Amino acid sequence: MLTEYLGNDLTKISNEIDKLALNLAVNETITSALIEKYIGISKDYNFFELQKAIATRDKEKIYNIISYFDAQPKQFSIIPAIITLYNFFSRVYMLAYTSGKSNQEICKELGIREFFLKDYSNALTNYPVTKTKMILQFLCEYDLKSKGVNQVNTNDSALLKELTWKILHC
């Protein structure tokens, strides 16, 4: 949850863990509620929930998550969202070419736990190979846009709105 939200900046992660540790009682278990309270990361409004909502085409949930990000522009960056979605859809794309293999073989090839295979299979149903390929191209395009290539003064939230619209309507 922390790396998804904070990225791989170890200093940032360390500072947030220190902040959390200062607020914990002795032997208190770290829960998602405590992380949300002291660090600001929501278990309901994060990149993995956005990924799930896109995979299932849950437009209402997508809108709610993007609105949450919109309300917290200092805490939101589109780059982790793009990375999360790219990793997910690249596995969905690979899944399309695993016919005839057992679930265990597929999971090993995709680098996922068997528990998550259903999510990838459902996404492949909603986004067949041609659409998945388009989505991967959109993600590359928006990665460049997020870095200022062929893009003028657009914030991350606006880019995410455009990207999700393109994904849902491809």
DSSP states of 117-128: HHHHHHHHHHS-
Task: Read off the pLDDT of each residue in 74-85 and give the average, rounded to a whole number.
Answer: 89
- For the chain, list the domains and their CATH numbers: 1-43 (no CATH), 45-168 (1.20.272.10)
For residue 143, how many other CB atoms are within 10 A of its CB?
17
- Rounded distance between C-alpha atoms, residue 123 and residue 153, angstroms: 32
Q: What pLDDT is attached to residue 54?
A: 97
- Rounded distance between C-alpha atoms, residue 98 and residue 93, angstroms: 10
Q: What pLDDT is attached to residue 43?
A: 60
Scanning the structure block, which residue is given the tokens 């309270």? Answer: 37
Q: What pLDDT is attached to residue 155?
A: 87
Q: CA of 14: how far to CAs of 17, 39, 89, in Å?
A: 5, 12, 30
